[in-house]
Amino acid sequence: TNWGRSDSKTGDGMRFWLCPDCGRHLDRDPSNPQHASAIQKWRENHTRLCSGEPVPLVLAYQFHTDCIVLNVPSRQDTRTIGRTTLSPTTVTLAEALLAGAGDLLELEPYELAAFPRLSPEGQTVEEIVIYETVPGGAGYVEEIARRLPEIAEAARERLYGHTCAKACYLCLKHYRNQRWHPFFDKERVRDLLLTISKMESVEPIEATGGSAIKFLYDQLDQRRCELQEEGRPPGHQNVQSPIEKRLFEALCGIADLPSPMAQYEYRKDGRLITIPDFAYPDAKIAVFCDGFAFHGNPDTLELDAKKRNQMQSDGWIVLTYWGKTIMRDAEACAREILSLYKQRVEESR
Ligand SMILES: [Zn+2]
Ligand SMILES: [Zn+2]
Protein backbone atom coordinates (compact mmCIF):
# COMPACT_ATOMS: atom_id res chain seq x y z
CA THR A 1 0.00 0.00 0.00
CA ASN A 2 1.04 3.61 -0.51
CA TRP A 3 -0.52 6.05 1.95
CA GLY A 4 1.00 9.14 0.41
CA ARG A 5 3.10 11.76 2.10
CA SER A 6 3.38 11.55 5.90
CA ASP A 7 1.87 14.26 8.03
CA SER A 8 4.82 16.05 9.66
CA LYS A 9 3.10 16.08 13.08
CA THR A 10 1.30 12.77 13.36
CA GLY A 11 3.26 10.67 10.87
CA ASP A 12 -0.02 9.42 9.40
CA GLY A 13 -0.22 8.93 5.67
CA MET A 14 -2.12 11.83 4.09
CA ARG A 15 -3.49 9.72 1.24
CA PHE A 16 -4.00 10.72 -2.37
CA TRP A 17 -6.87 12.96 -3.44
CA LEU A 18 -8.06 11.32 -6.62
CA CYS A 19 -11.16 11.65 -8.74
CA PRO A 20 -12.71 8.15 -8.89
CA ASP A 21 -14.36 8.96 -12.24
CA CYS A 22 -11.44 10.24 -14.30
CA GLY A 23 -8.40 9.45 -12.10
CA ARG A 24 -7.12 13.05 -12.00
CA HIS A 25 -4.93 13.79 -9.00
CA LEU A 26 -5.49 16.82 -6.79
CA ASP A 27 -1.90 17.21 -5.60
CA ARG A 28 -2.61 19.72 -2.83
CA ASP A 29 -3.88 19.10 0.68
CA PRO A 30 -7.51 20.34 0.77
CA SER A 31 -7.33 20.85 4.55
CA ASN A 32 -4.50 23.39 4.16
CA PRO A 33 -5.98 26.92 3.74
CA GLN A 34 -2.75 28.09 2.07
CA HIS A 35 -3.60 25.97 -0.95
CA ALA A 36 -7.17 27.28 -1.25
CA SER A 37 -6.68 29.29 -4.44
CA ALA A 38 -4.65 26.58 -6.23
CA ILE A 39 -7.32 24.05 -5.30
CA GLN A 40 -10.08 26.37 -6.51
CA LYS A 41 -8.30 26.62 -9.85
CA TRP A 42 -7.89 22.82 -10.04
CA ARG A 43 -11.58 22.33 -9.30
CA GLU A 44 -12.67 24.81 -11.94
CA ASN A 45 -10.53 23.03 -14.51
CA HIS A 46 -11.73 19.63 -13.41
CA THR A 47 -15.47 20.51 -13.46
CA ARG A 48 -15.15 21.53 -17.07
CA LEU A 49 -13.95 18.03 -17.94
CA CYS A 50 -15.56 15.74 -15.40
CA SER A 51 -18.45 15.69 -12.91
CA GLY A 52 -16.60 13.52 -10.37
CA GLU A 53 -15.49 14.65 -6.91
CA PRO A 54 -11.95 13.86 -5.61
CA VAL A 55 -11.77 11.60 -2.54
CA PRO A 56 -8.81 10.61 -0.28
CA LEU A 57 -7.51 7.18 -1.30
CA VAL A 58 -4.77 4.72 -0.36
CA LEU A 59 -3.12 3.15 -3.38
CA ALA A 60 -2.71 -0.59 -3.12
CA TYR A 61 -2.34 -3.69 -5.14
CA GLN A 62 -2.74 -7.33 -4.37
CA PHE A 63 -0.92 -10.25 -5.89
CA HIS A 64 -0.42 -13.94 -5.26
CA THR A 65 3.04 -15.34 -4.89
CA ASP A 66 5.03 -17.92 -2.96
CA CYS A 67 6.34 -17.06 0.46
CA ILE A 68 8.22 -18.69 3.28
CA VAL A 69 7.37 -18.02 6.91
CA LEU A 70 10.24 -18.47 9.35
CA ASN A 71 9.51 -18.70 13.07
CA VAL A 72 12.19 -17.28 15.31
CA PRO A 73 12.15 -17.35 19.12
CA SER A 74 11.69 -13.73 20.12
CA ARG A 75 14.51 -11.86 21.80
CA GLN A 76 12.11 -9.22 23.01
CA ASP A 77 14.33 -6.40 21.86
CA THR A 78 11.67 -4.38 20.09
CA ARG A 79 12.50 -0.70 19.96
CA THR A 80 11.08 2.41 18.40
CA ILE A 81 13.22 4.60 16.16
CA GLY A 82 11.39 7.50 14.58
CA ARG A 83 7.96 6.21 13.70
CA THR A 84 8.93 2.57 13.31
CA THR A 85 8.80 -0.11 15.99
CA LEU A 86 10.72 -3.30 15.25
CA SER A 87 13.07 -5.90 16.72
CA PRO A 88 16.64 -5.21 15.49
CA THR A 89 17.38 -8.94 15.71
CA THR A 90 14.45 -10.00 13.56
CA VAL A 91 14.90 -7.25 10.97
CA THR A 92 18.63 -7.92 10.68
CA LEU A 93 18.06 -11.66 10.36
CA ALA A 94 15.45 -11.08 7.65
CA GLU A 95 17.79 -8.91 5.60
CA ALA A 96 20.79 -11.17 6.23
CA LEU A 97 18.90 -14.20 4.88
CA LEU A 98 17.73 -12.20 1.87
CA ALA A 99 21.31 -11.17 1.16
CA GLY A 100 22.55 -14.74 1.62
CA ALA A 101 19.84 -16.08 -0.69
CA GLY A 102 20.68 -13.43 -3.27
CA ASP A 103 24.36 -14.38 -3.22
CA LEU A 104 23.82 -18.12 -3.24
CA LEU A 105 21.03 -18.28 -5.83
CA GLU A 106 22.47 -15.38 -7.87
CA LEU A 107 19.22 -13.44 -7.80
CA GLU A 108 18.60 -9.84 -8.75
CA PRO A 109 18.08 -7.82 -5.56
CA TYR A 110 14.45 -6.97 -6.40
CA GLU A 111 13.34 -10.56 -6.91
CA LEU A 112 12.93 -11.31 -3.22
CA ALA A 113 11.67 -9.19 -0.36
CA ALA A 114 10.93 -9.78 3.32
CA PHE A 115 9.16 -8.27 6.26
CA PRO A 116 9.08 -9.18 9.95
CA ARG A 117 5.93 -9.48 12.01
CA LEU A 118 4.94 -10.50 15.48
CA SER A 119 3.35 -13.89 15.51
CA PRO A 120 -0.43 -13.80 15.96
CA GLU A 121 -0.14 -16.12 18.95
CA GLY A 122 1.70 -13.58 21.06
CA GLN A 123 5.24 -12.45 21.46
CA THR A 124 7.29 -15.54 22.20
CA VAL A 125 7.88 -16.21 18.52
CA GLU A 126 8.41 -13.67 15.79
CA GLU A 127 7.96 -14.32 12.11
CA ILE A 128 9.99 -13.43 9.08
CA VAL A 129 8.05 -13.57 5.83
CA ILE A 130 10.21 -13.89 2.73
CA TYR A 131 8.32 -13.61 -0.55
CA GLU A 132 8.92 -13.44 -4.26
CA THR A 133 8.08 -10.10 -5.78
CA VAL A 134 7.10 -11.68 -9.09
CA PRO A 135 3.41 -12.60 -9.14
CA GLY A 136 3.04 -16.36 -9.26
CA GLY A 137 6.52 -16.98 -7.93
CA ALA A 138 9.49 -18.49 -9.74
CA GLY A 139 10.30 -21.28 -7.28
CA TYR A 140 12.98 -19.41 -5.35
CA VAL A 141 11.35 -19.68 -1.94
CA GLU A 142 11.11 -23.42 -2.30
CA GLU A 143 14.83 -23.49 -2.95
CA ILE A 144 15.41 -21.22 0.06
CA ALA A 145 13.46 -23.60 2.28
CA ARG A 146 15.48 -26.54 0.97
CA ARG A 147 18.84 -24.82 1.20
CA LEU A 148 18.38 -22.64 4.30
CA PRO A 149 21.59 -23.83 6.02
CA GLU A 150 23.63 -22.92 2.92
CA ILE A 151 21.90 -19.57 2.71
CA ALA A 152 22.74 -18.83 6.35
CA GLU A 153 26.36 -19.73 5.57
CA ALA A 154 26.37 -17.37 2.57
CA ALA A 155 24.91 -14.67 4.82
CA ARG A 156 27.70 -15.21 7.36
CA GLU A 157 30.33 -14.68 4.67
CA ARG A 158 28.54 -11.59 3.51
CA LEU A 159 28.20 -10.10 7.01
CA TYR A 160 31.39 -11.11 8.78
CA GLY A 161 33.94 -11.24 5.97
CA HIS A 162 34.72 -7.57 6.60
CA THR A 163 34.69 -5.20 9.54
CA CYS A 164 31.91 -2.66 9.97
CA ALA A 165 30.19 -1.35 13.07
CA LYS A 166 26.62 -2.59 12.71
CA ALA A 167 25.90 -2.70 9.01
CA CYS A 168 27.17 -1.11 5.81
CA TYR A 169 26.55 -1.13 2.08
CA LEU A 170 28.85 -4.16 1.72
CA CYS A 171 26.64 -6.34 3.86
CA LEU A 172 23.10 -5.38 4.76
CA LYS A 173 22.25 -1.95 3.50
CA HIS A 174 20.84 -0.97 0.14
CA TYR A 175 18.63 1.89 -0.87
CA ARG A 176 15.41 -0.12 -0.86
CA ASN A 177 15.73 -1.09 2.82
CA GLN A 178 16.54 2.40 4.06
CA ARG A 179 13.73 2.43 6.58
CA TRP A 180 15.39 -0.51 8.32
CA HIS A 181 18.92 0.92 8.38
CA PRO A 182 18.73 2.33 11.93
CA PHE A 183 17.72 -1.12 13.22
CA PHE A 184 20.46 -3.18 11.60
CA ASP A 185 23.01 -4.75 13.93
CA LYS A 186 24.91 -7.68 12.52
CA GLU A 187 26.31 -8.71 15.92
CA ARG A 188 22.81 -9.62 17.09
CA VAL A 189 22.43 -12.40 14.55
CA ARG A 190 25.89 -14.02 14.64
CA ASP A 191 24.72 -16.94 16.76
CA LEU A 192 21.41 -17.29 14.93
CA LEU A 193 23.07 -17.50 11.52
CA LEU A 194 25.58 -20.06 12.76
CA THR A 195 22.75 -22.08 14.32
CA ILE A 196 20.76 -22.05 11.08
CA SER A 197 23.84 -22.92 9.03
CA LYS A 198 24.35 -26.05 11.13
CA MET A 199 20.74 -27.24 10.94
CA GLU A 200 19.79 -30.30 8.98
CA SER A 201 18.12 -29.66 5.66
CA VAL A 202 14.37 -30.11 5.81
CA GLU A 203 12.29 -32.56 3.87
CA PRO A 204 9.20 -30.97 2.38
CA ILE A 205 5.91 -32.05 3.98
CA GLU A 206 2.28 -31.03 3.55
CA ALA A 207 1.36 -28.63 6.32
CA THR A 208 -1.12 -25.97 7.28
CA GLY A 209 -0.55 -22.41 8.45
CA GLY A 210 0.75 -22.28 12.01
CA SER A 211 2.20 -25.80 12.03
CA ALA A 212 5.76 -24.47 11.98
CA ILE A 213 5.22 -22.66 15.28
CA LYS A 214 3.78 -25.83 16.77
CA PHE A 215 6.81 -27.77 15.54
CA LEU A 216 9.17 -25.24 17.10
CA TYR A 217 7.36 -25.40 20.46
CA ASP A 218 7.40 -29.21 20.35
CA GLN A 219 11.15 -29.18 19.75
CA LEU A 220 11.72 -26.76 22.62
CA ASP A 221 9.50 -28.89 24.90
CA GLN A 222 11.40 -32.00 23.91
CA ARG A 223 14.72 -30.32 24.71
CA ARG A 224 13.44 -29.20 28.11
CA CYS A 225 12.42 -32.79 28.88
CA GLU A 226 15.87 -34.04 27.89
CA LEU A 227 17.44 -31.46 30.17
CA GLN A 228 15.28 -32.61 33.04
CA GLU A 229 16.25 -36.22 32.40
CA GLU A 230 19.89 -35.19 32.43
CA GLY A 231 19.19 -33.84 35.90
CA ARG A 232 19.76 -30.31 34.72
CA PRO A 233 16.54 -28.36 34.82
CA PRO A 234 16.44 -25.19 32.72
CA GLY A 235 18.16 -22.31 34.43
CA HIS A 236 20.28 -24.56 36.63
CA GLN A 237 23.77 -23.21 36.40
CA ASN A 238 26.15 -25.13 38.60
CA VAL A 239 26.68 -28.35 36.74
CA GLN A 240 28.74 -28.42 33.57
CA SER A 241 26.61 -30.23 31.03
CA PRO A 242 28.04 -32.42 28.25
CA ILE A 243 27.24 -29.57 25.85
CA GLU A 244 29.20 -27.03 27.88
CA LYS A 245 32.04 -29.47 28.23
CA ARG A 246 32.15 -29.99 24.49
CA LEU A 247 32.30 -26.25 23.77
CA PHE A 248 34.82 -25.64 26.54
CA GLU A 249 37.15 -28.23 25.02
CA ALA A 250 36.77 -26.71 21.58
CA LEU A 251 37.56 -23.25 22.97
CA CYS A 252 40.59 -24.51 24.85
CA GLY A 253 41.80 -26.20 21.65
CA ILE A 254 42.40 -22.83 20.01
CA ALA A 255 45.90 -21.58 20.71
CA ASP A 256 45.18 -17.89 20.01
CA LEU A 257 42.25 -17.74 22.37
CA PRO A 258 42.64 -17.34 26.14
CA SER A 259 40.63 -19.78 28.24
CA PRO A 260 37.12 -18.51 28.84
CA MET A 261 35.81 -17.84 32.32
CA ALA A 262 33.18 -20.44 33.12
CA GLN A 263 30.11 -19.44 35.13
CA TYR A 264 31.08 -15.79 35.02
CA GLU A 265 28.93 -13.74 37.35
CA TYR A 266 27.73 -10.69 35.51
CA ARG A 267 26.87 -7.98 38.00
CA LYS A 268 25.50 -4.51 37.69
CA ASP A 269 25.69 -2.08 40.61
CA GLY A 270 26.72 -5.05 42.74
CA ARG A 271 23.59 -6.99 41.82
CA LEU A 272 23.89 -10.39 40.12
CA ILE A 273 22.13 -10.13 36.77
CA THR A 274 23.00 -13.39 35.04
CA ILE A 275 25.64 -16.09 34.73
CA PRO A 276 26.77 -16.81 31.19
CA ASP A 277 28.21 -20.30 30.73
CA PHE A 278 31.37 -18.75 29.34
CA ALA A 279 32.65 -15.20 29.19
CA TYR A 280 35.58 -13.13 28.00
CA PRO A 281 35.18 -10.04 30.16
CA ASP A 282 38.10 -8.20 28.47
CA ALA A 283 36.32 -8.47 25.11
CA LYS A 284 32.83 -8.29 26.61
CA ILE A 285 31.69 -11.54 25.02
CA ALA A 286 29.22 -13.81 26.78
CA VAL A 287 28.24 -17.29 25.63
CA PHE A 288 25.16 -19.21 26.65
CA CYS A 289 24.96 -22.89 25.77
CA ASP A 290 21.60 -24.38 24.96
CA GLY A 291 19.90 -21.05 25.55
CA PHE A 292 17.29 -21.79 22.95
CA ALA A 293 15.94 -24.54 25.14
CA PHE A 294 14.80 -21.90 27.57
CA HIS A 295 13.64 -19.47 24.95
CA GLY A 296 10.14 -19.99 23.67
CA ASN A 297 9.06 -20.96 27.15
CA PRO A 298 6.83 -18.07 28.13
CA ASP A 299 7.87 -18.38 31.80
CA THR A 300 11.54 -17.70 31.16
CA LEU A 301 11.60 -16.04 27.79
CA GLU A 302 10.95 -12.55 28.99
CA LEU A 303 13.41 -12.84 31.86
CA ASP A 304 16.13 -14.34 29.64
CA ALA A 305 15.63 -11.71 27.00
CA LYS A 306 15.76 -8.96 29.59
CA LYS A 307 19.10 -10.16 30.94
CA ARG A 308 20.48 -10.53 27.46
CA ASN A 309 19.31 -7.07 26.45
CA GLN A 310 20.79 -5.60 29.60
CA MET A 311 24.20 -7.07 28.79
CA GLN A 312 23.92 -5.84 25.22
CA SER A 313 23.08 -2.33 26.28
CA ASP A 314 26.25 -2.41 28.40
CA GLY A 315 28.26 -3.15 25.26
CA TRP A 316 28.45 -6.93 25.57
CA ILE A 317 27.95 -9.28 22.67
CA VAL A 318 25.80 -12.19 23.74
CA LEU A 319 25.97 -15.47 21.85
CA THR A 320 23.46 -18.23 22.39
CA TYR A 321 24.03 -21.60 20.78
CA TRP A 322 21.57 -24.42 20.50
CA GLY A 323 22.85 -27.60 22.15
CA LYS A 324 22.47 -29.42 18.85
CA THR A 325 24.69 -26.89 17.11
CA ILE A 326 27.43 -27.32 19.69
CA MET A 327 27.26 -31.12 19.61
CA ARG A 328 27.37 -31.13 15.80
CA ASP A 329 30.17 -28.61 15.34
CA ALA A 330 31.60 -27.09 18.50
CA GLU A 331 34.70 -26.10 16.54
CA ALA A 332 32.64 -23.83 14.29
CA CYS A 333 31.21 -22.10 17.38
CA ALA A 334 34.71 -21.78 18.81
CA ARG A 335 36.11 -20.36 15.57
CA GLU A 336 33.38 -17.78 15.50
CA ILE A 337 34.09 -16.81 19.09
CA LEU A 338 37.77 -16.49 18.18
CA SER A 339 37.16 -14.18 15.23
CA LEU A 340 34.84 -12.06 17.34
CA TYR A 341 37.35 -12.01 20.17
CA LYS A 342 40.17 -10.84 17.91
CA GLN A 343 37.97 -8.13 16.42
CA ARG A 344 36.84 -6.89 19.84
CA VAL A 345 40.34 -6.80 21.30
CA GLU A 346 41.58 -4.90 18.24
CA GLU A 347 38.72 -2.41 18.50
CA SER A 348 39.44 -1.68 22.13
CA ARG A 349 43.09 -0.80 21.40
ZN1 LIG B 1 -12.77 13.53 -12.56
ZN1 LIG C 1 29.18 -4.29 6.60
Task: Give the pLDDT confidence of 153-164 residue by residue, as tens digits.
Answer: 999 999 999 989
Tell me, what's the pLDDT at 189?
Answer: 95
In this structure, the answer to whether residues 159 and 41 fall within a common structural domain is no
In this structure, the answer to whether residues 154 and 260 fall within a common structural domain is no
- Quick check: 126 pLDDT over 90? no
- Range(s) of the domain holding residue 31: 1-62
pLDDT band at 233 (very low <50, low <70, confident <90, very high): low
In this structure, the answer to whether residues 190 and 70 fall within a common structural domain is yes
Lowest mean pLDDT among 86-95, 140-149, 203-212, 308-317: 203-212
Mean pLDDT of the chain: 87
Ligand 2 geometric centre to CA of 161 (Å): 8
- Own/partner pairs for 315-318, CB < 8 Å, 24+ apart? 315/284, 316/266, 316/284, 316/285, 316/286, 317/187, 317/190, 317/284, 317/285, 317/286, 317/344, 318/276, 318/286, 318/287, 318/288
Q: Cα–Cα distance between 70 and 4 in angstroms, integer?
A: 30
In this structure, the answer to whether residues 287 and 164 fall within a common structural domain is no
- The answer to whether the CB of 296 falls within 8 A of the CB of 73 is yes
In this structure, the answer to whether residues 43 and 123 fall within a common structural domain is no
- Quick check: 139 pLDDT over 60? yes
Among residues of the chain, what percentage have pLDDT more than 70? 91
What's the average model confidence in pLDDT over 88-100?
96
- Quick check: 183 pLDDT over 50? yes
Residue 223 belongs to a domain: no
Q: Indicate which ligand has the atom closest to the C-alpha of 50.
A: 1
Among residues of the chain, what percentage have pLDDT more than 90? 49
- Quick check: 293 pLDDT over 70? no
Ligand 1 geometric centre to CA of 10 (Å): 29
Lowest mean pLDDT among 33-37, 129-133, 306-310, 314-318: 306-310
Residue 218 belongs to a domain: no
What's the average model confidence in pLDDT over 142-171?
94
End residue of a domain, out of 181, 202, 223: 202
In this structure, the answer to whether residues 16 and 70 fall within a common structural domain is no
In this structure, the answer to whether residues 124 and 146 fall within a common structural domain is yes
In this structure, the answer to whether residues 80 and 175 fall within a common structural domain is yes
In this structure, the answer to whether residues 24 and 86 fall within a common structural domain is no
Q: Indicate which ligand has the atom closest to the C-alpha of 21.
A: 1
Count of domains forming the chain: 3
What is the greatest pairwise CA distance in the chain? 84
In this structure, the answer to whether residues 9 and 47 fall within a common structural domain is yes
Tell me, what's the pLDDT at 295?
Answer: 46
Residue 260 belongs to a domain: yes
Ligand 1 geometric centre to CA of 45 (Å): 10
In this structure, the answer to whether residues 139 and 83 fall within a common structural domain is yes
- The answer to whether the CB of 26 falls within 8 A of the CB of 60 is no
- Quick check: 235 pLDDT over 60? no
Ligand 2 geometric centre to CA of 332 (Å): 21
Tell me, what's the pLDDT at 275?
Answer: 86
Phi (first) and psi of residue 205, to 5 degrees = -135, 160
Note the pLDDT tens digit of each residue in 44-57.
999 999 999 999 99
Residue 222 belongs to a domain: no
The model's pTM is 0.81
Residue 220 belongs to a domain: no
In this structure, the answer to whether residues 315 and 255 fall within a common structural domain is yes
- Quick check: 316 pLDDT over 60? yes
Ligand 2 geometric centre to CA of 95 (Å): 12
Ligand 1 geometric centre to CA of 33 (Å): 22
Residue 328 belongs to a domain: yes
Tell me, what's the pLDDT at 296?
Answer: 47
Residue 286 belongs to a domain: yes
Q: Indicate which ligand has the atom closest to the C-alpha of 166.
A: 2
